[in-house]
Amino acid sequence: MQVVSVIKRVPDEIKERLVENFGEVDFYFCHGMKEGRQHLKEADVLITFGEDVTPELIADATRLKWIMVLSAGMDQMPFEDISRRNILVTNVRGIHAIPMAEYAISMVLQVSRQAKALVQLEQGHQWNRRTPMKEINGQTMVLLGTGAIAQETARLAKTFRMKTVGVSKSGRTKPYFDETYSVDRMKEALSHGDVVVAVLPSTEETTYLLTEEHFRLMPSHAIFLNMGRGDLVASHTILQAIKENQISHAVLDVFEEEPLPESHPFWEEERVTVTPHLSGITPQYLPRGFEIFERNLQSFLNKKEDMENLIDPKRGY
Protein backbone atom coordinates (compact mmCIF):
# COMPACT_ATOMS: atom_id res chain seq x y z
CA MET A 1 0.00 0.00 0.00
CA GLN A 2 1.64 3.24 -1.17
CA VAL A 3 0.72 6.83 -0.35
CA VAL A 4 2.30 9.63 -2.38
CA SER A 5 2.07 13.19 -1.07
CA VAL A 6 3.03 16.04 -3.42
CA ILE A 7 2.41 18.68 -0.74
CA LYS A 8 5.47 20.89 -0.26
CA ARG A 9 6.96 21.57 3.18
CA VAL A 10 5.04 19.03 5.25
CA PRO A 11 6.32 19.43 8.83
CA ASP A 12 8.53 16.51 9.93
CA GLU A 13 6.31 16.01 12.95
CA ILE A 14 3.38 15.15 10.66
CA LYS A 15 5.45 12.80 8.48
CA GLU A 16 6.82 10.98 11.51
CA ARG A 17 3.39 10.57 13.06
CA LEU A 18 1.94 9.07 9.88
CA VAL A 19 4.85 6.65 9.43
CA GLU A 20 4.57 5.56 13.04
CA ASN A 21 0.77 5.19 13.06
CA PHE A 22 0.54 3.28 9.77
CA GLY A 23 3.31 0.66 9.74
CA GLU A 24 1.71 -1.20 6.83
CA VAL A 25 1.82 1.86 4.54
CA ASP A 26 4.78 3.15 2.49
CA PHE A 27 4.76 6.95 2.40
CA TYR A 28 6.51 9.06 -0.22
CA PHE A 29 6.58 12.72 0.83
CA CYS A 30 7.57 14.63 -2.31
CA HIS A 31 8.28 18.32 -2.85
CA GLY A 32 5.61 18.95 -5.49
CA MET A 33 4.28 16.91 -8.42
CA LYS A 34 7.52 17.16 -10.39
CA GLU A 35 9.25 15.09 -7.73
CA GLY A 36 6.16 12.97 -6.95
CA ARG A 37 5.37 11.95 -10.50
CA GLN A 38 7.88 9.08 -10.58
CA HIS A 39 6.04 7.35 -7.70
CA LEU A 40 2.54 7.73 -9.14
CA LYS A 41 2.58 4.48 -11.11
CA GLU A 42 2.71 2.52 -7.86
CA ALA A 43 0.55 4.86 -5.78
CA ASP A 44 -2.71 3.67 -4.19
CA VAL A 45 -3.33 7.09 -2.64
CA LEU A 46 -2.37 10.62 -3.76
CA ILE A 47 -2.32 13.66 -1.46
CA THR A 48 -2.41 16.94 -3.42
CA PHE A 49 -3.69 20.51 -3.34
CA GLY A 50 -5.64 19.51 -6.48
CA GLU A 51 -4.21 22.07 -8.90
CA ASP A 52 -1.62 19.70 -10.38
CA VAL A 53 -3.74 16.67 -11.31
CA THR A 54 -4.11 16.17 -15.08
CA PRO A 55 -5.90 13.52 -17.18
CA GLU A 56 -2.44 12.20 -18.19
CA LEU A 57 -1.42 11.69 -14.57
CA ILE A 58 -4.65 9.83 -13.87
CA ALA A 59 -4.00 7.61 -16.90
CA ASP A 60 -0.46 6.85 -15.68
CA ALA A 61 -1.49 6.19 -12.09
CA THR A 62 -3.03 2.83 -12.88
CA ARG A 63 -3.30 1.65 -9.26
CA LEU A 64 -4.76 4.90 -7.87
CA LYS A 65 -7.87 4.38 -5.73
CA TRP A 66 -8.14 7.58 -3.68
CA ILE A 67 -7.15 11.24 -4.10
CA MET A 68 -7.04 13.33 -0.93
CA VAL A 69 -7.32 16.98 -1.95
CA LEU A 70 -5.95 19.33 0.76
CA SER A 71 -8.14 22.18 -0.46
CA ALA A 72 -11.78 23.19 -0.30
CA GLY A 73 -11.96 24.34 -3.95
CA MET A 74 -11.41 21.74 -6.69
CA ASP A 75 -12.01 23.70 -9.90
CA GLN A 76 -8.99 22.22 -11.68
CA MET A 77 -9.60 18.52 -10.95
CA PRO A 78 -10.21 16.31 -14.06
CA PHE A 79 -13.37 14.81 -12.60
CA GLU A 80 -14.43 13.07 -15.81
CA ASP A 81 -11.33 10.87 -15.90
CA ILE A 82 -11.50 10.34 -12.13
CA SER A 83 -15.15 9.34 -12.30
CA ARG A 84 -14.55 6.85 -15.12
CA ARG A 85 -11.91 5.08 -13.03
CA ASN A 86 -14.06 5.13 -9.87
CA ILE A 87 -11.29 6.80 -7.92
CA LEU A 88 -12.46 8.13 -4.53
CA VAL A 89 -12.00 11.85 -3.91
CA THR A 90 -12.09 13.56 -0.52
CA ASN A 91 -11.26 17.16 0.34
CA VAL A 92 -10.88 19.38 3.42
CA ARG A 93 -14.21 21.19 3.24
CA GLY A 94 -14.68 23.30 6.37
CA ILE A 95 -10.94 23.67 7.05
CA HIS A 96 -11.24 27.46 6.67
CA ALA A 97 -13.99 27.78 9.27
CA ILE A 98 -11.82 28.54 12.30
CA PRO A 99 -9.48 31.20 10.82
CA MET A 100 -12.28 32.83 8.83
CA ALA A 101 -14.60 33.03 11.83
CA GLU A 102 -11.75 34.56 13.86
CA TYR A 103 -11.15 37.00 11.01
CA ALA A 104 -14.81 38.05 10.93
CA ILE A 105 -15.10 38.62 14.68
CA SER A 106 -11.72 40.35 14.78
CA MET A 107 -12.63 42.78 12.00
CA VAL A 108 -16.11 43.55 13.36
CA LEU A 109 -14.60 44.27 16.78
CA GLN A 110 -11.87 46.38 15.16
CA VAL A 111 -14.39 48.54 13.33
CA SER A 112 -16.63 48.85 16.41
CA ARG A 113 -13.63 49.79 18.54
CA GLN A 114 -12.10 52.09 15.88
CA ALA A 115 -8.81 50.25 15.48
CA LYS A 116 -7.73 52.33 12.48
CA ALA A 117 -8.31 55.62 14.29
CA LEU A 118 -6.46 54.31 17.36
CA VAL A 119 -3.46 53.22 15.27
CA GLN A 120 -3.36 56.75 13.83
CA LEU A 121 -3.58 58.31 17.30
CA GLU A 122 -0.73 56.06 18.40
CA GLN A 123 1.37 57.09 15.40
CA GLY A 124 0.80 60.72 16.44
CA HIS A 125 1.50 60.07 20.17
CA GLN A 126 -2.00 61.38 20.88
CA TRP A 127 -3.91 60.48 24.05
CA ASN A 128 -7.56 60.97 23.03
CA ARG A 129 -10.25 59.23 25.05
CA ARG A 130 -13.11 60.66 22.96
CA THR A 131 -12.80 58.14 20.13
CA PRO A 132 -16.29 56.63 20.35
CA MET A 133 -16.29 52.93 21.23
CA LYS A 134 -19.14 50.58 20.38
CA GLU A 135 -19.97 47.12 21.66
CA ILE A 136 -21.00 44.19 19.49
CA ASN A 137 -22.97 42.78 22.43
CA GLY A 138 -26.69 42.79 21.65
CA GLN A 139 -26.30 43.56 17.94
CA THR A 140 -27.69 41.48 15.08
CA MET A 141 -25.34 39.69 12.69
CA VAL A 142 -26.86 38.67 9.36
CA LEU A 143 -24.81 35.99 7.60
CA LEU A 144 -25.21 35.38 3.89
CA GLY A 145 -24.44 31.67 3.85
CA THR A 146 -25.13 29.07 6.55
CA GLY A 147 -22.35 26.52 5.85
CA ALA A 148 -19.41 25.50 8.03
CA ILE A 149 -17.70 28.92 7.97
CA ALA A 150 -20.93 30.82 8.63
CA GLN A 151 -21.85 28.45 11.45
CA GLU A 152 -18.49 28.86 13.17
CA THR A 153 -18.80 32.65 12.84
CA ALA A 154 -22.35 32.52 14.23
CA ARG A 155 -21.19 30.32 17.10
CA LEU A 156 -18.64 32.94 18.15
CA ALA A 157 -21.09 35.82 17.57
CA LYS A 158 -23.67 34.22 19.85
CA THR A 159 -21.18 34.13 22.72
CA PHE A 160 -20.92 37.90 22.36
CA ARG A 161 -24.73 37.83 22.80
CA MET A 162 -25.30 38.85 19.20
CA LYS A 163 -28.48 37.72 17.48
CA THR A 164 -27.58 35.57 14.46
CA VAL A 165 -29.64 35.49 11.28
CA GLY A 166 -28.68 33.22 8.38
CA VAL A 167 -29.65 33.50 4.72
CA SER A 168 -29.33 30.44 2.47
CA LYS A 169 -30.91 28.99 -0.66
CA SER A 170 -33.26 26.78 1.31
CA GLY A 171 -33.59 28.83 4.48
CA ARG A 172 -33.28 25.59 6.47
CA THR A 173 -32.58 25.82 10.20
CA LYS A 174 -28.89 25.42 11.01
CA PRO A 175 -26.92 25.25 14.27
CA TYR A 176 -25.96 28.60 15.89
CA PHE A 177 -28.56 30.63 13.98
CA ASP A 178 -31.41 32.27 15.88
CA GLU A 179 -33.27 32.64 12.59
CA THR A 180 -32.75 31.47 9.02
CA TYR A 181 -34.26 32.97 5.88
CA SER A 182 -34.36 31.64 2.35
CA VAL A 183 -32.67 33.83 -0.23
CA ASP A 184 -35.98 35.17 -1.59
CA ARG A 185 -36.49 36.82 1.83
CA MET A 186 -32.95 38.22 1.92
CA LYS A 187 -34.11 41.85 1.84
CA GLU A 188 -36.08 41.39 5.02
CA ALA A 189 -33.04 39.82 6.69
CA LEU A 190 -30.65 42.58 5.55
CA SER A 191 -32.84 45.30 7.05
CA HIS A 192 -32.09 43.85 10.51
CA GLY A 193 -28.32 43.63 10.03
CA ASP A 194 -26.18 45.75 12.33
CA VAL A 195 -23.45 43.59 10.86
CA VAL A 196 -23.77 41.78 7.51
CA VAL A 197 -21.22 39.04 6.82
CA ALA A 198 -21.05 37.46 3.36
CA VAL A 199 -19.53 33.97 3.13
CA LEU A 200 -21.26 32.79 -0.02
CA PRO A 201 -19.38 30.67 -2.55
CA SER A 202 -19.25 31.84 -6.15
CA THR A 203 -22.00 30.18 -8.16
CA GLU A 204 -24.21 31.39 -10.95
CA GLU A 205 -26.87 32.26 -8.40
CA THR A 206 -24.59 34.33 -6.15
CA THR A 207 -22.75 36.30 -8.86
CA TYR A 208 -23.67 39.97 -8.34
CA LEU A 209 -26.49 38.86 -6.04
CA LEU A 210 -26.15 42.04 -3.95
CA THR A 211 -27.21 45.27 -5.60
CA GLU A 212 -27.65 48.90 -4.68
CA GLU A 213 -31.14 48.19 -3.40
CA HIS A 214 -29.80 45.75 -0.78
CA PHE A 215 -27.37 48.31 0.63
CA ARG A 216 -30.15 50.88 0.84
CA LEU A 217 -32.13 48.42 2.96
CA MET A 218 -29.32 47.91 5.48
CA PRO A 219 -29.27 50.20 8.55
CA SER A 220 -27.04 53.24 7.97
CA HIS A 221 -24.83 52.14 10.89
CA ALA A 222 -24.34 48.67 9.34
CA ILE A 223 -20.91 47.10 8.89
CA PHE A 224 -20.70 45.04 5.69
CA LEU A 225 -18.00 42.33 5.60
CA ASN A 226 -17.26 40.18 2.56
CA MET A 227 -14.96 37.17 2.97
CA GLY A 228 -16.76 34.90 0.48
CA ARG A 229 -16.22 35.80 -3.17
CA GLY A 230 -15.40 39.11 -4.78
CA ASP A 231 -18.07 38.84 -7.46
CA LEU A 232 -20.93 38.85 -4.95
CA VAL A 233 -21.22 42.60 -5.41
CA ALA A 234 -19.73 45.21 -7.77
CA SER A 235 -17.00 47.45 -6.31
CA HIS A 236 -18.83 50.58 -7.39
CA THR A 237 -21.95 49.46 -5.51
CA ILE A 238 -19.95 49.16 -2.27
CA LEU A 239 -18.23 52.51 -2.87
CA GLN A 240 -21.53 54.23 -3.50
CA ALA A 241 -23.09 52.67 -0.39
CA ILE A 242 -20.22 54.11 1.66
CA LYS A 243 -20.22 57.54 0.03
CA GLU A 244 -24.00 57.88 0.38
CA ASN A 245 -23.90 56.62 3.98
CA GLN A 246 -26.18 53.70 3.24
CA ILE A 247 -23.81 51.74 5.48
CA SER A 248 -21.10 52.91 7.86
CA HIS A 249 -18.17 50.61 7.02
CA ALA A 250 -17.14 47.89 4.58
CA VAL A 251 -14.53 45.26 5.43
CA LEU A 252 -13.37 43.49 2.29
CA ASP A 253 -11.10 40.47 2.01
CA VAL A 254 -12.19 39.46 -1.52
CA PHE A 255 -12.48 41.57 -4.67
CA GLU A 256 -13.67 41.47 -8.25
CA GLU A 257 -10.03 41.78 -9.27
CA GLU A 258 -7.21 40.35 -7.14
CA PRO A 259 -4.68 41.63 -6.27
CA LEU A 260 -6.68 44.82 -5.76
CA PRO A 261 -5.07 47.35 -8.17
CA GLU A 262 -2.86 49.92 -6.47
CA SER A 263 -4.99 52.76 -7.82
CA HIS A 264 -8.32 51.34 -6.64
CA PRO A 265 -10.37 53.86 -4.63
CA PHE A 266 -11.03 51.27 -1.86
CA TRP A 267 -7.49 51.80 -0.53
CA GLU A 268 -8.10 55.49 0.17
CA GLU A 269 -11.62 55.25 1.60
CA GLU A 270 -11.41 55.71 5.37
CA ARG A 271 -14.54 53.64 5.93
CA VAL A 272 -13.44 50.76 3.73
CA THR A 273 -10.97 48.32 5.25
CA VAL A 274 -9.03 46.24 2.74
CA THR A 275 -7.30 42.99 3.68
CA PRO A 276 -5.44 41.00 1.01
CA HIS A 277 -7.55 37.79 0.87
CA LEU A 278 -6.08 36.36 4.04
CA SER A 279 -9.12 35.51 6.15
CA GLY A 280 -8.48 31.79 5.61
CA ILE A 281 -4.70 31.86 6.12
CA THR A 282 -3.55 29.96 9.19
CA PRO A 283 -0.45 28.08 10.34
CA GLN A 284 -2.87 25.29 11.34
CA TYR A 285 -3.79 24.55 7.72
CA LEU A 286 -1.48 21.59 7.04
CA PRO A 287 -1.81 20.07 10.54
CA ARG A 288 -5.63 20.14 10.24
CA GLY A 289 -5.61 18.89 6.65
CA PHE A 290 -3.39 15.94 7.57
CA GLU A 291 -5.58 15.18 10.59
CA ILE A 292 -8.53 14.74 8.23
CA PHE A 293 -6.30 12.64 5.96
CA GLU A 294 -5.24 10.46 8.88
CA ARG A 295 -8.83 9.76 9.95
CA ASN A 296 -9.72 9.03 6.33
CA LEU A 297 -6.74 6.72 5.86
CA GLN A 298 -7.95 4.75 8.87
CA SER A 299 -11.40 4.45 7.25
CA PHE A 300 -9.85 3.66 3.87
CA LEU A 301 -7.94 0.73 5.38
CA ASN A 302 -11.15 -0.40 7.17
CA LYS A 303 -13.41 -1.21 4.21
CA LYS A 304 -13.56 2.45 3.04
CA GLU A 305 -16.56 3.24 5.20
CA ASP A 306 -17.30 6.62 6.79
CA MET A 307 -14.74 8.61 4.85
CA GLU A 308 -15.05 12.34 5.63
CA ASN A 309 -15.80 14.93 2.94
CA LEU A 310 -16.32 12.37 0.20
CA ILE A 311 -16.84 14.09 -3.15
CA ASP A 312 -19.17 12.93 -5.89
CA PRO A 313 -16.88 13.18 -8.96
CA LYS A 314 -19.92 13.40 -11.22
CA ARG A 315 -20.95 16.68 -9.57
CA GLY A 316 -17.52 17.88 -8.49
CA TYR A 317 -18.63 18.64 -4.91
Q: Check binding of 19 to a copy of itself (CB under 8 A).
A: no
The smaller minimum CB distance to a copy of itself, of residues 111 and 297, is found at: 111
The region of 39-47, 76-84, 125-133, 219-227 touching a copy of itself under the rule CB under 8 A is 125-133
Cβ of residue 84: shortest distance to a copy of itself, in angstroms? Answer: 37
The smaller minimum CB distance to a copy of itself, of residues 105 and 311, is found at: 105
Q: Check binding of 106 to a copy of itself (CB under 8 A).
A: yes
Q: Check binding of 220 to a copy of itself (CB under 8 A).
A: no
* One of 134, 169, 216, 271 touching a copy of itself (CB under 8 A): 134
- For the segment 172-201, give every residue that binds a copy of itself (CB under 8 A): none
* One of 1, 2, 26, 115 touching a copy of itself (CB under 8 A): 115
Size of the site for a copy of itself (CB under 8 A): 51
The smaller minimum CB distance to a copy of itself, of residues 62 and 126, is found at: 126
Q: Check binding of 11 to a copy of itself (CB under 8 A).
A: no
DSSP code string of the chain: -EEEE--TT--HHHHHHHHHH-TT-EEEE-SSHHHHGGGGGG-SEEEE-SSS--HHHHHH-TT--EEEESSS--TT--HHHHHHTT-EEE--TTTTHHHHHHHHHHHHHHHHTTHHHHHHHHHTT---TTSPP---TT-EEEEE--SHHHHHHHHHHHHTT-EEEEEESS----TT-SEEEEGGGHHHHHTT-SEEEE-----TTTTT---HHHHHHS-TT-EEEE-S-GGGS-HHHHHHHHHTTSSSEEEES--SSSSPPTT-GGGG-TTEEE--S-TT--TTHHHHHHHHHHHHHHHHHTTT-S-TTB--TTTT-
Query: What amino acid is encoded at 151 in this protein?
Result: Q
CB 101 within 8 A of CB 284: no
Q: Check binding of 28 to a copy of itself (CB under 8 A).
A: no
Q: Give the torsion sign (CA, 151, 157, 162, 167).
A: negative
Cβ of residue 279: shortest distance to a copy of itself, in angstroms? Answer: 9
- For the segment 245-284, give every residue that binds a copy of itself (CB under 8 A): 258-260, 262-264, 267-268, 273-278, 281-284
Q: Check binding of 217 to a copy of itself (CB under 8 A).
A: no
The smaller minimum CB distance to a copy of itself, of residues 47 and 242, is found at: 242
The smaller minimum CB distance to a copy of itself, of residues 161 and 185, is found at: 161
Contacts with a copy of itself, residue ranges (CB under 8 A) = 98-99, 102-103, 105-106, 109-110, 112-113, 115-116, 118-119, 121-122, 125-129, 131-138, 155-156, 159-160, 258-260, 262-264, 267-268, 273-278, 281-284
